[in-house]
């Protein structure tokens, strides 16, 4: 349930930082959601030419105009529905990860409602790449 819906029921909710010195569960570790394939969160799909000679998959929020630019494309929600995108996120990442790509380019989603949680998972999934630079 998105934060906004919870607040409609119980009132204002205090949100704490997700950065903890000693997380109490694996899901709270920064790289918990990281696949073997490095994920790069990109703001624009025109980032693709920089990886022309590499095998790149796209994790798209909505339908893609030219899927031929990528080895494989996983669409989280053709309609742009955040609930559907959240429900499809992990399976889509796993399918792309299984293709032995060089990169997964992840399109950001709007950071409202469930979009905050999706972006949190994408950032955690991209931690592996960022920590290896």
The CATH number of residue 114's host domain is: 3.40.50.11030
Task: With respect to residue 121, please indicate whether it lies within any of the assigned structural domains.
Answer: yes
Task: With respect to residue 32, please indicate whether it lies within any of the assigned structural domains.
Answer: yes
Task: With respect to residue 16, please indicate whether it lies within any of the assigned structural domains.
Answer: no
Q: What is the pLDDT of residue 129?
A: 47
Task: With respect to residue 114, please indicate whether it lies within any of the assigned structural domains.
Answer: yes
- pLDDT digit string (tens) for the chain, length 133 residues: 666 777 677 777 676 655 556 555 555 555 556 788 999 998 644 555 456 668 999 999 999 888 988 999 999 999 999 999 999 999 999 999 999 999 999 999 999 989 999 998 999 888 654 444 4
Left, alpha or beta for 11 (phi > 0: left; psi -120 to 50: alpha)? left
Q: Domain residues for 126?
A: 24-131
- Taking the C-alpha atoms of residue 126 and residue 39, their distance in angstroms, rounded to an integer, is 5
**Distances, alpha carbon 25 to alpha carbons 20, 31, 33, 65, 66, in Å:** 11, 12, 13, 39, 40
∠ CA 120-116-102, rounded to 5°: 40
Q: What is the pLDDT of residue 11?
A: 74
Task: With respect to residue 65, please indicate whether it lies within any of the assigned structural domains.
Answer: yes
Cβ contact 125:41 at 8 Å: no
The DSSP call for residue 27 is: G
């Amino acid at each position: 349930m998105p934060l906004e819906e919870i607040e409609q029921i119980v009132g204002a909710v205090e949100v704490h930082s997700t950065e903890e010195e000693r997380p109490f569960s694996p899901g709270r570790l920064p790289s918990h959601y990281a696949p073997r394939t490095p994920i790069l969160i990109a703001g624009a799909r025109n980032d693709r030419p920089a990886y022309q000679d590499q095998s790149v998959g796209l994790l798209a929020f909505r339908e893609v105009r030219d899927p031929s630019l990528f080895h494989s494309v996983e669409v989280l929600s053709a309609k742009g529905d955040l609930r559907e995108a959240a429900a499809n996120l992990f399976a889509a990442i796993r399918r792309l990860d299984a293709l032995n790509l060089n990169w997964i380019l992840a399109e950001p989603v709007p950071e409202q409602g469930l979009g905050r949680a999706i972006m949190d998972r994408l950032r955690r999934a991209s931690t592996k790449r960022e920590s290896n630079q």
